[in-house]
Structure 1
Amino acid sequence: MAFEGLADRLQNTIKKITGKGKVSEADVKEMTREVRLALLEADVNFKVVKDLIGRIKERAIGQEVMESLTPGQQVIKVVKEELSDLMGGEQSKIAVSDRPPTVIMMVGLQGAGKTTTTGKLANYLRKKQNRSPLLVACDIYRPAAIKQLETLGAQLDMPVFSMGTDVKPAEIVQEALKEAKANHNDYVLIDTAGRLHIDEELMGELQEVREVAKPEEIFLVVDAMTGQDAVNVAESFNEQLDVTGVVLTKLDGDTRGGAALSIKAVTGKPIKFAGMGEKLDALEPFHPERMASRILGMGDVLTLIEKAQSNIDEKQAKELEEKMRNMSFTFDDFLEQMSQVKKMGPLEDLMSMIPGAGKIKGLKNAQIDERQLSHIEAIIQSMTKQERIDPNIINASRRKRIAVGSGTSVSQVNRLIKQFNDMKKMMKQMTNMTKGKKGKGFKLPFM
């Protein structure tokens, strides 16, 4: 997860003050000093840190905290609110045109992930908002960029408008807008040319495109891995183009998070979306309050629920609950459940959204090995249909065959079968416990 180092530092710092029945001015000063160091190490802009610490200190030493019954908790509340405000406070939604199509210009430096993000945004608009986007290839300097956008369009089964490399971007946009109106596309996403660095020629071209496109949004795509440089890029683009929002890519990577915490304060422009992985559905609306909660180890239940609702089939979940009740749950059902959970994203990210998960012994620094899931899938897929339904028939020779077929060991097969049987016993106990209680029964997570 992004902010991992910062999150650890901040959580350790505020833990010292959380349980205190009384908080002194010296306690607050010590905490803010540690918070300041943590933020600077995370590559947050120095001036941004100075202003943030000033606000936290002023509020934390103020009446609302010192005279509270739980001053430690109030200090944490102050830190969370200030972190959230620093990143924009509330989610900033896409502006929509009164007269479709809504035009969004995607701008940024080369290598920031702009073309891929354009495809991800189109996918988000279609899946989450039931829209019909048109992708427009305007990077005339890199034939590979045009080809990449066309490939993304084919993967998403979405139209891509292109006129090759010999036509000016402004003319391409002009024709693309006619195409969108003729085909009733309600969004037009313009993938503009990037550069290795900012120059006058690039900005002049982008300004020409803006004049023709008259976009509702100009999204600047920046790589969160570049840290403070991302903020400098955002400042330069904003001065020239007056961008309306920022999309941070690679926020799931090994990044210190300084860009996300600094961009809004430095440019005044909100972070609209965050890229959380390489897949085409790995783009999420940026929620400052939720991100502040995750940084402080308070979880992010709302995002977790949204992921579950998007990826877990309600009908299948109800059928699975019924199978659990009558003890007919099989390895096939187990495989299906695993598949649905994996769609929600990396398990480590999901764990970070569960409030207090980091405090549970054994989970704090647990490295969840996604390969283990692949081994489990391979073992189950190497079983016959009858073996998946009734694991009791799996004798020693069958276990050896399953191990060879799945590329695993007999001990791994034994372990999985034991865990599965233990899980069924636990389900039986839980079902027995709930019998006779009106309206109550065993419920799966997210149901």
Structure 2
Amino acid sequence: MKTISSLMRSEFHSLRVLTLTPDSEEGARWLGSMLNAIDIANVKNVRALSMVPALLREGDIDVIVADVAHGGLMLPSLLKTLDAATPMPRFPRILWVGQPPPVNLLPAPWPALAEQPAVRRVGGLPVTALLAHARLAHRAGINVGMVYGGGKAAFTEALRDLLLAPSNNRHASCSAPADAPTEVDVIEALTTGKNLRVMLQPQFDLRTRRIIGAEALLRWRHPGVGEVPPSVLIPMVDRLGLHLLLFSYIETRVIDVLLVLKSRQVALPIALNASAETVCTPGLAQRLAEKMQRAGLSPHLLKIELTGDLPVADELLLSASLNTLRAKGFPVSLDDFGQGTSTLNLLAKMSFDEVKIDGAFVRDMKTSASAQAVIAATVSLARLMNLKVVAEGIEEASCIEALACLGCPTGQGYALARPMELRDFFDSVSNKE
């Protein structure tokens, strides 16, 4: 009968390992002893990051064991660059070690940072900084583990957990459909409205779980391709200069929605996304105000969300356009707040009624103390500036209460409700009013 130890040795024995270690004889000796102790036979060693690509091209590598301070930090970026030039069937997994050797492994998904001592370091860097870097690598499809502790047990546990961590399919979300829509398809859809529809993503009071608003989302079901994601459609719209046509289609549907809600004695604001280029269109605010007036609707029910998908060419013009919308009674929201430095720059220079916390921070809040701190700071900043605040991308139920505890009053995301077809949305708000 095989023992657990012999099974472990047999499993590790077949691994193809590449080590990236410093010139230090002490570090190389320690790592060699760890690999020998767990019966890894196929080991290649390099002393410089520049030597890694050639060995990867020669044959498959299962795991790269790398010193954090000697090229280990740059390994995920190197793998991503190599994959962009010549797609790799799979990425080798990376196991970080430090000098002196660290103490444990943090596999993906990463445990809460609050469980780790704040002063603990690996290779001279705080564990919190390394975890943040490892999360970025994981999003790129690269699994990274960490060892801290000099014994065989710690190294074995680290390696085993790294190998058991599920692979991340990096191409699943970014690859284009085999039969992507053409520019002619986009033009026809926007000019005729055929196969286009608007869905509504409800926004909730996080304390009471009541629907207090919604965001309008465009959906396009192409007859040949199927559902075309916004990440494919919007860049094509921008490239073709059809942003006003897109905005006009959604705006018309949203006004129709508001009229149905009014007929049911329900008054909920609906948010409509608009790029800086769209917001700066001459006469936009006046045209919207006239349409709302003809429909007998208050402008405060139509919220304009400024997206960050295009650079701001003229900040003075954008500021004037946003203020004109606000003067007409339309609330203005800053979407994807925290995504890069541009949103903070806009908030410092221009007036808004609301900020929406980028969903990336919400998704990371369970595993990242830094993400929690950014959310708390954004809520405090919004309070100081007398702004409303909405959290996007709430995908886990446990985050709802956590956000409420951080002072965030409003949120949207799959954990609360998925985007709804119009009929379902009407039924939902009517039943709860």
Q: TM-score, normalised by structure 2?
A: 0.26
In terms of fraction of residues, the more helix-rich structure is 1
* TM-score, scaled to structure 1: 0.26
Richer in strand (by share)? 2
